[in-house]
Chains A and B, each alone.
Chain A
Amino acid sequence: MLEISIFAILALFMLGGSITMIVNKQPVFSAFGFLVTMIGLAGMFALLNSQFLAIAQIMVSVGAVVVLSMLTILTVNAKEENLPKEPHKFKWILFSSIVVAPFTLLVYKTLSILPAHFSDIGTINSKVVGELLFTDWVLPFEILSILLLSAMLGAIVIGRDSKKKKKKSQKRRRL
């Protein structure tokens, strides 16, 4: 009973947060909705006995990704006129929800074929995950580390201010 009520509260938080995320005009409020969703997801992981995953979710998604996106939103600090004008936003959301609803039902019905009860696996703590990560899943783990490195380099290169180019083009214009 306790599990079901915790699940209901977390699910309510997650759905409310995600709907807040797609409905709001200001990106800061969207980021708050995203934050609530991510915390709810960490709670879901804890409810599924994946301790390590819950902690990693809180550390990476909540602590790094959401904070980074909020920081970017506040740095960009877009004024009202720089935000996109979406007069038919709710119409679009309504119509795309109607289009997507059968797809949701299809996914849910397909997943319902799977066994409808949990197996008693016990908690998936850092020991289990670590052993698997360094035996069966070592290749994806290494690929992920290369991906993180290249993403870091790519972010630095993409986000760099290209002032030098501007100066050169200004000089050319003057000439």
Chain B
Amino acid sequence: MSPNAFYLLASLLFSIGLVGLVSRKNLFVLYMSIELMLSAVSLLLATLSKVLGEAGGSVISLLIIGVIASEAAVFLAMIINLYRSKKTLDSDRFNALREGARND
């Protein structure tokens, strides 16, 4: 089978992640969309490693899995901290750095 299907799948997954990142407000969905975009890139790297006949792509993909794990830890801790401060998961309500924002 040809690698074109894998290319199409990776670009579709990346775009779905981008759509989720742009159009949703729930912090958890934002986090999962970012993870999905990273995973799409790692699928692309694994495909390229088979197409080009070199195992380096798989190694980068493995390193990306490590990055995903560390990102998950920090992001989830941040979500817990944000939820504790305002009791909401709405990303629009965290605007403490905006000019003239109400500090409630």
Contact = CB atoms under 8 A, between A and B. Distances in A.
B interface, size bucket = 35 or more
A22 to B, nearest CB: 3
A112 B36 contact: no
Interface in B12-27: 12-20, 22-26
A127 to B, nearest CB: 10
A15 B12 contact: yes
Interface string B82-97: 0110011111100000
Given A21-B36, A76-B83, A108-B7, A147 B29 contact: no
B74 interface: yes
Interface in A84-134: 84-86, 89, 92-93, 95-97, 100-101, 103-104, 107-108, 111-112, 114-121, 124, 128-129, 132-133
Contacts of B26: 25, 27, 30, 83-84, 86
Given A18-B17, A84-B25, A103-B15, A137 B59 contact: yes
A83 B59 CA distance: 39
Contacts of B91: 84
B101 interface: no
A144 B24 contact: no
Contacts of B52: 115, 119
A116 B3 contact: yes
Q: Which of A34, A68, A115 has the most CB of B within 10 A?
A: A34
B4 A121 contact: no
A61 B78 contact: no
A147 B49 contact: no
Contacts of A15: 9, 12-13, 16
Contacts of A7: 1, 5
14 contacts: A18-B16, A21-B33, A45-B43, A50-B46, A52-B58, A53-B65, A68-B73, A78-B88, A96-B22, A100-B19, A111-B7, A120-B53, A132-B55, A148-B66
